[in-house]
Amino acid sequence: MQELVIEGGCRLQGELTIQGSKNGVLPVLAATILCAGECRVENCPRLRDVDASIAILRHLGCCTRWEGGALLVDTTHMDKNEVPDALMREMRSSVIFLGAILARQGEAALSYPGGCELGPRPIDMHLAALRALGAEIEERGGTLRCRARVLTATEIVLPLPSVGATENAILAACGAEGTTAIYNAAREPEIAELQDFLNAMGAQVCGAGGSIVTVTGKRALHGGTHRVIGDRIAAATYLCAAAACGGEVRLSGVDCRALSPVTAALYEAGCAVESGVEDVFLRSGGRLRAIHPVRTAPYPGFPTDAQPAMMAALLRSAGSTVFVENIFENRYRHAGELSRMGADIRVAGRVAVVSGVPSLHGASVKCTDLRGGAALVLAGLQAEGTTRVSQLEHIDRGYESMERELALLGARIGRREETQWQERGTIEDADGEGTPSS
Ligand code: EPZ
């Protein structure tokens, strides 16, 4: 198993080009199924979740290959319509393939995507949308079997602006006769990205970014080329890192409008922030200030995925900041691990209160989930001494070599095989020099 070893206390300085968006590319990869042809997905990030999507596409009979930073997907010979349990367990958001397989094959089967570290993660809205389009769905023994001899356009009203349900509805509606309207659609930038890619394939999707999306289905689709947008959550993560450590960073390749709730919060905390169209500059002088309550909300509200990083940025701030997590039930699991580093965080249900402490100390901590793991790294960058972060499979789902990016900004961080405790009670570093166990 690997771990990140971080020596805290460095200011961060420099420039980064932000990776392609994890939450943007996953529905795009599912959408390639809608046409029998080859698609070219440029700026495709190298992530564990992308690897999981590639495994599903190959299982379904598609061919994939990398060409530099582009992933080419040829779905001509797709010959299956079910996603096995092992692949579903690798990535629960694989449920996004359901609508696309149904639209292409008329039937689809996948094992029920269980919950995850963030909570139960129900998919009732996904299934209601597919049923509204005419799918018959049987849930038996942990497997979902969907059949739709014909998909017919309809009106879909989502109880919540669910990102995944919106994406599944759009993908399935591409296979429905007529024009489907999706009301209370999610407005995240990744929805507009999916619309752009589908329209590049010859689809007719309108309204993404707003609450009403329309899809005129049954059009002859063809392969398309798409450049994945910059990952706004990865950008938020690195901005929070610089804000916490002090320094000056410039991030490029990301739409700054999608970052505004995060940059506004960092500005309130005392950072200087200058946003361009596709780049953002942040300068942080020293100790941050506590800010008004951070309430996560569907886009364009404060993104739930940036909550852990913002929390990490404020661990040493002057004063206390209230967080209210309105999207997921269990998204403070990183608080316990942060407390091992001296953080003062009190959690009560969906509310967490972060009270700034004068300093954090290094510790051995374990990632609990993707964004919580990133928060542990941000805390290690600030801590006095050495921090070891393990269970990196979480971080690697959504960040392209986080340690490489942070090292480019001057952080003292490296990845190595997880140290083994020695009988002498010391931590044996990979280079063999034992140090007293902490
Ligand atoms: C997407 O998840 C993202 N994942 C999440 O990012 C992100 O946190 C989330 O949207 C919110 O922005 C991907 O895009 C792959 P939702 P998704 O459906 O689609 C409830 C990350 O760290 N709900 O918008 O699963 C649900 O339980 C990940 O990158 C239902 O009740 O999120 C949640 O409380 C984490 N029934 C709320 O809606 C449903 O059928 C919002 O979930 C669907 C969702």
pTM listed for this prediction:
0.95
> 327 CB less than 6 Å from ligand 1?
yes
Closest residue to atom 39 of ligand 1, CA basis: 123
Residue 30 Cα to ligand 1 midpoint, Å, equals 16
> In the predicted model, is pLDDT for residue 430 greater than 80?
no
Q: pLDDT for 92-144, tens place per residue?
A: 899 999 999 999 999 999 988 876 778 878 999 999 999 999 999 998 888 99
Burial of 120 from C-beta contacts in 10 A (0-12 / 13-18 / 19+): exposed
Residue 118 Cα to ligand 1 midpoint, Å, equals 10
Per-residue model confidence (pLDDT) at position 420: 62
Closest residue to atom 41 of ligand 1, CA basis: 162
* Tokens of residue 298, six digits: 């569907």
What residue spans of 177-319 are helical by DSSP H?
Answer: 189-200, 232-245, 260-268, 307-313
The letter for the amino acid at 330 is N
Per-residue model confidence (pLDDT) at position 354: 98
136-140, strands of its sheet edge to edge: 82-83, 107-111, 143-147, 136-140
Weakest-pLDDT range from 29-43, 113-127, 253-267, 291-305:
113-127
**Residue in 23, 126, 191 to alter for ligand 1 test, most ligand atoms within 8 A of Cβ:** 23
Annotated catalytic, 271? no
> In the predicted model, is pLDDT for residue 158 greater than 90?
yes
Q: How confident is the model at residue 422 (pLDDT cuts 50, 70, 90)?
A: very low
> 306 CB less than 6 Å from ligand 1?
no
Closest residue to atom 17 of ligand 1, CA basis: 164
Residue 224 Cα to ligand 1 midpoint, Å, equals 27
**Residue in 163, 184, 229, 232 to alter for ligand 1 test, most ligand atoms within 8 A of Cβ:** 163
pLDDT mean over 402-425: 82
> 97 CB less than 6 Å from ligand 1?
no
Per-residue model confidence (pLDDT) at position 286: 74
Per-residue model confidence (pLDDT) at position 421: 54
CA distance 231 to 427: 36
CA distance 302 to 296: 5
Closest residue to atom 27 of ligand 1, CA basis: 121
Closest residue to atom 37 of ligand 1, CA basis: 327
Residue 267 Cα to ligand 1 midpoint, Å, equals 27
Residue 162 Cα to ligand 1 midpoint, Å, equals 6
What sign has the CA pseudo-torsion 222, 228, 229, 233? positive
CA distance 194 to 184: 17
- Average pLDDT over the chain, rounded to whole? 94
